[in-house]
Structures are given as structure tokens and as C-alpha cells.
Amino acid sequence: MHNKFRVKEGDKIKLKQWATKVKALYESKDHYHELLQKQVEDMSELQNKLYADNRYALLLVFQAMDAAGKDGVIKHVMSGVNPQGCQVFSFKHPSAEELDHDFLWRTTRSLPERGRIGIFNRSYYEEVLIVRVHPELLQAQGLLNDLHDLDDVWQQRYRSINGLESHLHRNGTRTIKFFLHLSQAEQRKRFLSRIERAEKNWKFSLDDIHERGYWKQYMHAYEACLPATSTDDCPWYVIPADDKENARLIIADIIVDTLRKLDLQYPVLDAKRKKDLGAAKRMLLAEDKS
């Protein structure tokens, strides 16, 4: 099932040809909650093994247009994961300090440790997405490159990203990247809901409308970025996002499947450790007789 959402390295893609809605995996709301609960339980068990095994880390990258449901995915899909083993980072506009470093610096500081799951709500990919749509942002980055050749800037950044992710993979970090593919019509519907419902007003910003005006440019940026940075080891998945519940089920299934393929194991105790545990047990049981 997952392959139909996976971007193949080097393929030319047109996002208009990729579905924003597919046949639901659930038959009712109750069925959806039942399926998600099972995935959450599986993920919790696998996370415990990930922590105990301590050979791998998992990095989840979420990118999308506004209102595509990234926050909801993180909230619902990761609801059963032990907070001590999961780190969530949201990357907004870079600070002055961050602008004085290379474009990967601020995110690499937040990479997950072995045994943990790291979640990037937006990421270093902003540097080839929003910056590509608004290239004037490059002026604040003090680049040495000739900014007249912007295509070369993006190609160099793709190479840097691929190099980083390949390095992380060799050192035990498995990276999965999700683009929540939302239709323009569904985004409009969700924006209107944020305006019309008082409890959602806080989610809406006029900047959202401004960026919506660059929809075609963003789609072009994604179409260039996804196949240039999707590899066998660090794939991109284009997730149909018009149905929030279905998107969550698809993403949860991909995460669980990825963790299962790691063949995680609880540590095997050597003879000395087993002997020490036996001694500790005898000491504890002896307390009842004292």
C-alpha cells in the first residue's frame, strides 16, 4: 500500500496527478478510532523496543501547506508514545543567530538521540520551499554564492540535504518524510472554518491568505524538491490530506512498518547479569521472612 504514496528518486512529478483524497481505510468514526488505537498501541510497544535496543533513532519530517493537518497528525498518531522517548520541534522564522550559520545548523542541533523518535514540524526543507518561493530571504543568509544563479543554489542545497540524511542513515537514524498533500479547495474550507468558529480564530493569520496566493509556486517547489531528495533510505511520502483521519491512519501505518523492519530487540542478558538479577530477587524475597 505504501509504495503508491512514495516518491521515487529522480522521477519528474506533477502534484496535480497525485490524489489529495483516496478511499478511506475506515468504515465509520468508531472504526477509525479502533484502527488508530491499534496502531498507537503497536507504536508504543515498538518505541519501548527502540529505546531498549538503543541502536537506532527515528526522524519524522512533516511538510505541508497551511491547514493541511500536521499538528493533528502529531497529536493523534503519536498520542501513545512515551513523551520521554519522543521530541517534537517546530521551526519558524530563523533567528539572527541561526542566520549566521549554514542552513542546516538549527535543525541538526535538534536531531534525535539513539533510542528516540524525533519529529520535525517543518524542517530544513523550508530552505528549498519557502525560500525558493521567496528568494529575497536569501539576502539575509550572507551566502557566498552568486544569487543570480538560483537554480544552482537549490541544487547545492539538495546535495547538502541528501548528504546529511545519508550520513544520519549510516549512523543509525532512519528518516521518513511526509508531505501532506492538501487541495486548494480543502484549504479554503479549513480557513473559513478557522474564521467562522471562535475557538479556531487563534489558528488563523492573514499571512495564511498571503501565502495561499503563491500556491502554484509552492507546488512547483515541492515538485522539484521531493524527487531530488527522496531516496531508498530516506523516502518522501505524498499523503492525501483532504481526509484528516485517513491521512493519520496512512502515516501511522508507515511509521509502524518502518519500526518493524528494524528488527528491534530487547537486550539479551549475559550470564553475569542473570546471576545478579537472581541474587537481587533472593534478597527481595528474603525481606518477607525478616
3 state SS for 124-138: HHHHHCHHHHCHHHH
Q: What is the mean pLDDT of residues 204-233?
A: 95
Cell numbers describing residue 80: 501513545
* Predicted local distance difference test score (pLDDT) of residue 2: 83
* Predicted local distance difference test score (pLDDT) of residue 286: 87
DSSP 146-208: -TT-HHHHHHHHHHHHHHHHHHHHHTTEEEEEEEEE--HHHHHHHHHHHHHSGGGGGG--HHH
User: What are the beta bridge partners of residue 240?
Assistant: 181
- The residue segments making up the domain with residue 165 are 2-289
- The 10s digit of each residue's pLDDT in 15-27 is 999 999 999 999 9
* Predicted local distance difference test score (pLDDT) of residue 116: 96
* Predicted local distance difference test score (pLDDT) of residue 290: 61
- The 10s digit of each residue's pLDDT in 85-111 is 899 999 988 888 998 899 999 999 999
Q: What is the mean pLDDT of residues 134-161?
A: 84
- Taking the C-alpha atoms of residue 217 and residue 203, their distance in angstroms, rounded to an integer, is 23
- Taking the C-alpha atoms of residue 60 and residue 88, their distance in angstroms, rounded to an integer, is 9
Inform me whether the pLDDT recorded for 148 exceeds 80.
Answer: no
Q: Residue 176: which of 262, 52, 105 has the closest Cα?
A: 262
* Predicted local distance difference test score (pLDDT) of residue 228: 98
Cβ proximity of 6 and 236 under 8 Å:
yes
Lookup result for grid cell 518493524: 260
* Predicted local distance difference test score (pLDDT) of residue 145: 56
Q: How far are the Cα atoms of 43, 70, 101, 210 from residue 36, in angstroms, in the given order?
A: 10, 16, 40, 35
CA 88 to chain centre: 10
Q: What is the mean pLDDT of residues 142-151?
A: 70
* Residue 43's CATH number: 3.40.50.300
- The 10s digit of each residue's pLDDT in 109-132 is 999 999 999 999 999 999 999 999
Task: Quote the number of domains for the chain.
Answer: 1
